[in-house]
Structure 1
Amino acid sequence: MLAPEVPMSHSVAGEPPSAGRRAAPLTTAVYSAAEWDLLTSLPGRVIVVSAAPGPGRPRRGVAEGLAGLDAVAAGRSFDSDLVRAVVSAIYARHDGGPAGDDGNTDLVDLLAACRAAVRVLDRRADPADSAAYRQWVQSVAARVCRAVPTGRVRVVGDGPAPADRRFLDRLGDALGLR
């Protein structure tokens, strides 16, 4: 099976795109199918684990899940070819929705997957794309943790619960953001 080619954040010698086609970036990195699956499934897994209840973490509902999906979709406007390509791949899946809910909502496995994604990005991605991807994945979790449940009014100073802050810190560490 051939690995998909994923465009990265550089343009080709200023050549204009062919009519009706998007210009291909100058630099491309080739990810194996397993690497690409990791990068495209990680945001969905982050939503699942961020929304899962845990010690000191509240049970989440529809509003929080939708906030995570909105954060994934926001990647379409990122200034990173990698993030935009990942979002496109997520929404191009046969069911039209983000992947990642493989039934695995284990925090330890999620953190290991984040560290594996960082290793892939370190080997294959442009540093700016790597940073953008990692920050975007963190923002998905932050949006879920900060979402206001349906029917509740946000109070000034309302932020994530202490357990959610610890979760976000651990996620940031695994993504190499701290």
Structure 2
Amino acid sequence: MLTPEVPMSHSVAGEPSSAGRRAAPLTTAVYSAAEWDLLTSLPGRVLVAAAAPGPGRTERGVSASLAGLDAVAAGRASDSDLVRAVVATIYARHDGAPQPAERLTDLVDLLAACRAASRVLRRRADPADSAAYRQWVQSVAARVCRAVPGAGVRRADPPANPADRRFLDRLGAALDLG
């Protein structure tokens, strides 16, 4: 359970966590619990929305979901302390409580959450961490949209479906990528 403020700082002397694993290096900004929840839930929400059917888009299936999960996991190797900390938090969650479906897949709410995350990052994060986080979240959606049915996590470039391209463009704009 998160406390009202989640301090994000480098560990003392770089020592490993008590579980024997190296703790992910963290940024020095301080995020409120609500801000941290937003940043850590957004990649999963984007994955679900990218895989969901919508106007001109069909449901993707298992291969697209695997591509999205692979993209989330790829954040563990990011140069960004923030991205690595977010991924560590995602993987550390064991509550198993499902998110309400409308929170996960409503496009209007998702785009609003992306804009809110961009504002939080503009206020609190190092510019490089902010850019890395926003690009990583966009990459989750892109990998889902580019997944080839029945081909595991391999991708076709670019998304063939114009509706997928519009979805990615709207997501990129909400993430202030361009």
TM range (shorter): 0.7 to 0.9
Distance 1:27 1:72, change over 3 A: closer
Counterpart CA distance in 2 for 1:24 and 1:69 is 19
* 1:141-160 correspondence to structure 2 within 5 Å: 141-150=141-150, 159-160=159-160
- Between 70-79 and 26-35, report the one with greater CA deviation: 26-35
Unaligned regions of 5+ residues in structure 1, if any?
none
Rg larger in structure: 1
* Partners of 1:155 and 1:33 in 2: CA distance: 35
1:61 alignment partner in structure 2 = 61
Amino-acid identity (%): 72
User: 1:63 and 1:26 mapped to 2: Cα distance?
Assistant: 32
Secondary structure at the aligned position of 2:54 is classed as coil
Per-residue deviation at 1:44? 0.4
Query: Which structure 2 residue ranges, 5 or more long, are not aligned?
Result: none
1:41-52 superposed matches below 5 A: 41-52=41-52
Describe the shift of the 1:67–1:126 C-alpha distance in structure 2 as closer, same or farther (beyond 3 A).
same
Query: Per the alignment, do residues 156 and 59 of structure 1 end up closer, same or farther by CA in structure 2, a change over 3 Å counting?
Result: closer
Equivalent position amino acid for 2:100 in 1: D
* Shift of residue 159, structure 1, vs aligned partner: 3.0
Counterpart residue number, 2:175:
175
User: Which residue does 2:7 correspond to in 1?
Assistant: 5
C-alpha spacing 1:25/1:143, structure 2 compared with 1 (3 Å):
closer
* Distance (Å, rounded) in 1 between the aligned partners of 2:26 and 2:142: 33
CA distance in 2, matches of 1:39, 1:102: 17
**Map 1:49-128 → 2, pairs under 5 A:** 49-95=49-95, 101-104=99-102, 105-128=105-128
20-29 vs 132-141, which moves further: 20-29
Distance 1:147 1:156 in 2: 6
Q: Distance in 2 between matches of 1:143 and 1:24?
A: 24
Which residue identity is paired with 2:168?
A: L
RMSD (CA atoms)? 2.8
Aligned amino acid, residue 139 of structure 1: S
| Matching residue's letter, 1:163 | A
Normalized against structure 1, the TM-score is what?
0.84
Deviation at 1:160, TM superposition (A): 3.3
CA offset at residue 2 of structure 1? Answer: 3.2
Give the letter aligned to residue 3 of structure 1.
E
Query: Is contact 2:148–2:155 with CA below 8 Å preserved after alignment?
Result: no
| Separation of aligned partners in 2, 1:89 and 1:72 | 12
Greater CA drift, 65-74 or 156-165: 156-165
Residues 25, 85 of structure 2: 8 Å contact kept = no
TM-score normalized by the length of structure 2: 0.84
Conserved 8 A contact 1:16-1:23: no
